Amino acid sequence: MILSAPIHQLKRKARLLSRAERIPLHVALDRVAAEEGYRSWNLLAAKQPGMASVRALWPLLEPGDLVLVAGRPGQGKTLASLALLAEAMRAGRQAIFLTLEYTPADVLSRLRAINVEPAEFAGLFDCDCSDAISANYVMVRLADASRGTVAVIDYLQLLDQRRDTPELELQVRTLKAFARERGVILVFLSQVDRSYEASGKSFPGIADVRLPNPLDLALFDKTCFVNRGEARFRAAAPG
């Protein structure tokens, strides 16, 4: 279904509607989606070309990879990561979504938006919404994970919010070593800085990743940026 405007313009329309009518943003997004012929914003986003591009990333991932999936809010990071997990499960791999942002019901709704029903995958999918998610938590959670397991961490910057956890770069380095040792694939969702929207650039890149504290982004083996219904990915240059 062809949209009446690019997805970023529709999102701006929803933000204006939210402010004008004093309704929650998700309600405004769903209303805009309904005008485009979709039952919800999740369904609209899931049908955009970027989802196919993200699924094409799956064959490029290797055990031990650290992957960064980044974009501005509402551009499809969560759906992109769930599409990756769906591809992993279709290949018989274990998949886990660790989130500090969503409830299990939220995650289930988003999976169904991309036509994925976890019950179809015979226990391959798990969702963990613990408030304690950190590098140490992830390693304990994946202590018995088989090689090739894919875990999504939602999202990178939230690992840096608690005072009782190590600095972000140390956590990511620790998880990189763990992923290499155990042969698991770790996918981190990440915010793109708000300044990108005024930059005039057609697509965000590594320099636009929001980092409240220092982090060497060369630690990531693959990156995927989502924007305006598109996804672009690349392997990091050898360091």
Is residue 154 domain-resident? yes
What is the CATH number for 159?
3.40.50.300
pLDDT, tens only, 149-163: 999 999 898 888 878
Q: Examine the domain organization and report whether 213 and 225 are in the same domain.
A: yes
pLDDT, tens only, 158-214: 888 878 889 999 999 999 999 999 999 999 999 999 999 889 888 899 999 999 888
Is residue 116 domain-resident? yes
Q: Examine the domain organization and report whether 152 and 66 are in the same domain.
A: yes
Q: Examine the domain organization and report whether 64 and 26 are in the same domain.
A: no
Q: Examine the domain organization and report whether 42 and 76 are in the same domain.
A: no
Q: Examine the domain organization and report whether 34 and 62 are in the same domain.
A: no
Q: Examine the domain organization and report whether 21 and 121 are in the same domain.
A: no
How far apart are the C-alpha atoms of 28 and 64, rounded to whole Å? 40
Q: Examine the domain organization and report whether 164 and 116 are in the same domain.
A: yes
pLDDT, tens only, 114-159: 778 888 888 899 999 998 999 999 999 999 999 999 999 998 988 8
Q: Examine the domain organization and report whether 34 and 59 are in the same domain.
A: no
Determine contact, residues 99/128, Cβ cutoff 8 Å: yes
Is residue 2 domain-resident? no
Q: Examine the domain organization and report whether 111 and 222 are in the same domain.
A: yes
Is residue 20 domain-resident? yes
pLDDT, tens only, 55-107: 778 889 999 999 999 998 878 888 889 989 999 999 999 999 999 889 999 89
Q: Examine the domain organization and report whether 17 and 117 are in the same domain.
A: no
Which range marks the domain in which residue 22 is found? Answer: 7-46
Q: Examine the domain organization and report whether 59 and 80 are in the same domain.
A: yes
Q: Examine the domain organization and report whether 142 and 198 are in the same domain.
A: yes
Strands 125-128 and 185-191: unpaired
Token pair of 105 as six digits? 């019901």
| Separation of CA 123 from chain center | 21
How far apart are the C-alpha atoms of 213 and 41, rounded to whole Å? 32
Number of folded domains that form the chain: 2
| pLDDT in the model for residue 120 | 87
Instruction: Tell me the average pLDDT across 22-44.
Output: 87
| pLDDT in the model for residue 52 | 62
Closest to 126 in 3D by CA, of 136, 115, 138: 138
Please give the torsion angle defined by the CA atoms of residues 23, 29, 31 and 33, in that order, rounded to the nearest 10 degrees.
180
Bond before 155 cis per omega within 30 degrees = yes
Is residue 1 domain-resident? no
